[in-house]
Amino acid sequence: MRRRKFLEWAALSSFLGFSNKSWATSPSLGQEECKKWEKPLVISTWNHGMDANAAAWELLSKGGKALDAVEKGVMVTESDPTNRSVGIGGTPDRDGHVTLDACIMNEEGDCGSVAFLEDIENPIAVARMVMEKTPHVMLAGKGAQLFALQNGFERKDLLIPETKAAWEKWKKTSNYETPVNIENHDTIGMIALDQAGDFSGACTTSGLAYKMHGRVGDSPIIGASLFVDNEVGAACATGVGEMVIRIVGSHLIVELMRQGYSPEKACKKAIERIMAKHKSVEGQQVGFLAIDRKGRHGGYSIYNGFNYALRTPERNEMVETKYMKKW
């Protein structure tokens, strides 16, 4: 009997084209649930996710790989000078430097990241190159920049006149104090499931506005801002990186999904963990997103106002997440 179930499962898996072998033998998915799959699927943080998803969709809808889709998707946001928290046009640190953090992870568990990178417009592409061309996972600061320049990336001043002017204004009143509020979060985290049934994810940011020089947040940290396990699903984060790092948020969510939580419930649990482990979360936003093997997706945040862009064969829209506290 057990053998028959296994054979039925294996036949269904190969019919659906799932590429991950260990998942193909998973006993946890029934036939009914598999029928509900909407593939491919991509979700990404905040409103700017709509444009990023459109670029990702170009690839995903033609059978492209999730890895290529998430890289090309978030590059749209990085290269958008009107976006104040990613790539060019990103808000600088309190000393006027735009410093970038990014990471990427594929279905094999391969990952790459860059931290505290300056003068390079597309840190996600450098992170991918770290993953593919070096024996390392993470390069930081000058070393990351040198690696990028040696591999054909161009040096570019990312502090544009508008962000320079805003920083000059901030300096007059700030007393050099790093602000903490829920407004300055625009990191883009993107996770995708391709037609072959493989997950990948990417996360990129210029970090918290007017942060201390040298500060690195969660965005380049695999397991914190992003985690992919092809047997289970993927998760990503935005918001106050320190809080996300302390609970290794995205990895936690993937492990909760492994235990059977839906994406939304897993994200909620992670937010609850943040709230339990911090004396106060007053005025500090964190939002998580996740997709599971069944193609279900969801998110959760500390405060209202967090949303994500969703693209599937049927849908192209923003989705509001549930939250713990009203701002």
- Nearest-approach distance from CB 108 to ligand ASP, in angstroms: 25
Using CA atoms, how far apart are residues 50 and 55, in angstroms rounded to an integer?
A: 9
- Nearest-approach distance from CB 96 to ligand ASP, in angstroms: 17
Using CA atoms, how far apart are residues 82 and 140, in angstroms rounded to an integer?
A: 26
- Nearest-approach distance from CB 127 to ligand ASP, in angstroms: 15
**CA atoms within 13 A of residue 275's CA, in its CB half-sphere:** 17
- Nearest-approach distance from CB 147 to ligand ASP, in angstroms: 21
Q: Which residues are catalytic?
A: 187
Helices marked H in the chain — which ranges? 2-16, 21-24, 31-35, 49-60, 66-78, 123-133, 141-150, 161-174, 241-247, 249-258, 263-277
Residues making contact with ligand ASP (CB under 6 A): 85, 185-187, 205, 207-208, 217-219, 238-241
Of 53 and 312, the one with the shorter C-beta distance to ligand ASP is 53
Residues 309, 257, 65, CA angle at the centre, nearest 5°?
50
Chain centroid to CA 115: 15
Of 60 and 290, the one with the shorter C-beta distance to ligand ASP is 290
Of 48 and 293, the one with the shorter C-beta distance to ligand ASP is 48
Residue in the structure block whose two tokens are 């969510």 = 253
Query: Which tokens hold the place of 275?
Result: 């709230």
Rg for the chain (alpha carbons), in Å? Answer: 19
Of 129 and 240, the one with the shorter C-beta distance to ligand ASP is 240
| Short-list 176, 179, 211, CA closest to 90 | 211
- Nearest-approach distance from CB 114 to ligand ASP, in angstroms: 13
Of 60 and 309, the one with the shorter C-beta distance to ligand ASP is 309
